[in-house]
């Protein structure tokens, strides 16, 4: 079966690591029909375009999106993030951000399910008396029962396929409204999954446990902001950001899901051939798994942790992984 994949190489090292990801996908025997999209900071600097409605409509006809990295130093902070990444999540309803953290040598193997379309990233807020000594800035957190519940249900379903343990992370002692909604919803849905053991951590405690004893976790579910922070920390304690993969999922499959490495565009090393493509390759494996290519995905994941692939150079790493799959 041929899968139609939208490719967004993006900026910096993005195109380099995505090239290796596609090489590995081909070596795994999966046929993809790719459609290239020139998006990111460099595109914005050329003509001011970030993401058009026409491209969004094209994407609805694809099976998945595969993104390298976006952002350049010349572009104002937040412009690409809001205009491309967040817009993509909201418009395609990619309501689950799933990030795996695996480091077998240290006994680490857990997943974080991050609600991906609400919270403080929904854009609620504004300024009063902007630019004056009495300026006021508000940044609200939008949490709906619908949005919270569907993320929690996804997390419970995922836990059922693993070690059947799910931890809710929030800050219910201070964020009493949003926290109450999350905790009540979590407990109500838990009644439908008696096989799953549940736990709760305040987010500050979870940060400590991530560093001291991440082995205790199986699946974590949390909101958008806490998930953003925790998953970067998770990457740091499980081999580094160069190995951190992610999926922005529409579990209902009404739109294409998007898969990307967690790292940035790293313009300082772009073009030098030294970027580690494993995060992009592992994100590609997540894409294959979501598309039903489970055997190929498992083979790619196994190849990525094979010691023979611990070599230097972007292309050399890609070749080593592809060689194990041929």
What is the number of helices (H) and of strands (E) in the chain? 12, 12
Q: How far apart are CA 151 and CA 154, in angstroms?
A: 5
Residues 6+ apart with CB under 8 A from 130: none
* Encoded tokens for 87: 């817009």
* 169: β partners: 201, 222
Helix (H) or strand (E) holding 109: strand 108-115
Please identify which of the residues 171, 218, 223, 289 carries the catalytic annotation: 171
Q: Is the dihedral of CA 26, 31, 37, 41 positive or negative?
A: negative
- Helices 314-325 and 278-290 meet at what angle, rounded to 10? 40
Secondary structure letter of residue 34 according to DSSP: E
Gyration radius of the chain's alpha carbons? 20
Secondary structure letter of residue 260 according to DSSP: E
Q: How far apart are CA 130 and CA 280, in angstroms?
A: 41
Alpha helices (H) along 60-132: 79-80, 87-91
171 in active site:
yes
Please identify which of the residues 93, 109, 228, 319 carries the catalytic annotation: 228
* Strands 96-103 vs 245-249: parallel, antiparallel or unpaired: antiparallel
228 in active site:
yes
* Strands 165-170 vs 219-222: parallel, antiparallel or unpaired: parallel
Residue 247: helix, strand or coil by DSSP?
A: strand
Please identify which of the residues 87, 193, 209, 232 carries the catalytic annotation: 232
Please identify which of the residues 121, 218, 223, 289 carries the catalytic annotation: 121
Please identify which of the residues 204, 295, 306, 310 carries the catalytic annotation: 204
Under a CB-based contact definition with an 8 Å cutoff, are residues 83 and 51 in contact? yes
193 in active site:
no
Backbone angles phi, psi at 115, to 5 degrees: -60, 135
Question: What is the set of active-site residues?
Answer: 121, 171, 204, 228, 232
């Amino acid at each position: 079966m041929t899968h139609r994949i939208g490719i967004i190489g993006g900026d910096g090292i993005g195109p380099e690591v995505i090239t290796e990801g596609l090489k590995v996908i081909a070596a795994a025997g999966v046929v993809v029909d790719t459609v290239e999209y020139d998006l990111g900071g460099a595109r914005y600097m050329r003509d001011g375009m970030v993401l058009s409605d026409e491209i969004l409509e094209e994407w609805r006809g694809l099976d998945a999106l595969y993104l390298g990295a976006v952002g350049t130093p010349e572009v104002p902070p937040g412009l690409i993030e809001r205009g491309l990444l967040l817009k993509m999540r909201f418009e395609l309803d990619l309501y689950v951000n799933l990030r795996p953290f695996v480091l077998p040598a240290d006994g680490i193997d857990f997943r974080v399910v991050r609600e991906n379309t609400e919270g403080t990233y929904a854009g609620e807020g504004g300024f009063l008396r902007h630019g004056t000594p009495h300026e006021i800035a508000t940044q609200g957190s939008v949490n709906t029962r619908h949005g919270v519940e569907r993320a929690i249900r996804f997390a419970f379903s995922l836990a059922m396929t693993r070690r059947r343990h799910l931890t809710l992370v929030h800050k219910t002692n201070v964020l009493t409204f949003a926290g109450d909604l999350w905790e009540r919803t979590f407990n109500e849905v838990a009644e439908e999954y008696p096989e799953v053991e549940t736990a709760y951590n305040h987010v500050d405690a979870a940060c400590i446990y991530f560093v001291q004893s991440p082995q205790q976790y199986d699946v974590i579910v949390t909101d958008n902001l806490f998930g953003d922070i925790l998953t970067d920390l998770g990457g740091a304690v499980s081999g580094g950001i160069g190995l951190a993969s992610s999926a922005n999922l529409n579990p209902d499959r009404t739109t294409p899901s998007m898969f990307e490495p967690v790292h940035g565009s790293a313009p300082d090393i772009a073009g030098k051939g030294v970027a580690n493509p494993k995060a992009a390759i592992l994100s590609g494996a997540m894409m294959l798994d979501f598309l039903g290519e489970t055997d190929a995905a498992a083979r790619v994941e196994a190849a990525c942790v094979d010691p023979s692939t611990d070599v230097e150079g972007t292309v050399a790493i890609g070749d080593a992984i592809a060689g194990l799959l041929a």
